[in-house]
Structure 1
Amino acid sequence: MERLQKYMARSGVASRRKCEELIKSGHVSVNGRVVTDMGVKVDPDVDVVQVDGRVIKPSGKKVYIMLNKPVGYITSVKDQFGRPTVIDLVDYTQERIYPVGRLDYDTSGLLILTNDGELAYKLTHPKHEVPKTYLAVLKGVPDEGDLEKFRSGLRIENYVTSPAEIKVLDVFKNSCQVEIKIHEGKNRQVRKMCESIGHPVVSLERTAIGEISLGDLKQGQWRFLSSEEIEYLCKL
């Protein structure tokens, strides 16, 4: 027996957390009965699981793709307002894939797409503390006091951020470039942290997830992860 949300993630529906949202909102049925309980377990050999009426089953082939997301794309499989999504950039149709985590509409950079729900869970859950590296251009130049606040944790809305890394790489006339590393992934977190120290983001790009980096992959382009990269991610 297997938890329903884990079975769904293994079937390439979405990350485990997103699958839990689908269950709660009544999109999932088991043997024809809608279920909303997180504790439901299924027998993969016997039970029929459907999401919005479509029968799902685990795929035999796991797919791992790196995309350099440009600004102006939604990190989603589809968008209710018809805006372009990251899936539009990846011309791969053999398996159903979905993005791991999120990059804001106005943020560019490294995004992983897969049908491996367990890996998606590992990469997005804060307890695994997978660092994400960003290059940001900020308005003005933060002083050492601002940087120390950033590193120690900032109160944003109703939570305090975990300790993060930040260093100034270059200083311009009215702005600067910084490198930021965080292992959380709350909504627009980097932007909110920079606003909190009085230096809003002008541009933001994610360059690495753990030791997986964009390298020379150009914006809008994608590639399959290498066997070494997949092995590294699965060992996290």
Structure 2
Amino acid sequence: MELFADRAQAGALLAERLRGARDPVVLALPRGGVAVAAPIARRLGVPLEVLVTRKIGYPPAPELGVGAVAEGGEPVFDHVLLRRLGMTPESVADVVRRERRELARRVRVYRGDRPPPSLEGREVIVVDDGLATGGTARAALRAVAAAKPAKVTLAVPVGSPDTVASLRDEADEVVVLRTPADFHAVGQWYEDFEQLTDDDVLRLLEEGSAGDDGPDEFA
């Protein structure tokens, strides 16, 4: 299966699948999702915003996510995995507090004094660069749903087939370009999967303001 050149190319391809959206709010999950969402926002002619999420890691092995939290939402846990590890949500309370602090820091960095966008009654497109376990996407979708939008679309370039299927109940629509059977990690489906910094996110958000000028022409 052909790889995406980078997140920007993947976002441009996704944008073509989202042309029917009516004045949506585009919410990117930092950091990687912002690079995918930037061309979507430009081509749809709408501003680019962020919805900050943080993984809740298993303390002995933090790269293993047992849950996630999104701004404006409550922690969402993988209870099956927690039971398998002999843990409960209370067991990771310190991790949750630490990730909430980091989440608040990133909100301040990315949004500054701007209030979060109003989602009630709006069409919302939540964008990430891919779905592995889907923990952060699930937390984001539940936080968005609590704001009573008119429609929620999850848009990603690539994802694990099982994860994509499990998230269809969390969104009104899931738009995904590729669900490879041999999926192991998001990065394997990009030629360039360089990690983004906070400065990269801020630059992309500033460039995303070009969305206010109207949609680009599609090729």
Output the TM-score relative to the length of structure 2: 0.27
Output the TM-score relative to the length of structure 1: 0.25
Which has the greater radius of gyration? 1
Question: Bigger relative contact order, structure 1 or 2, given CA contacts below 8 A and separation 6+?
Answer: 2
More helix by share: 2
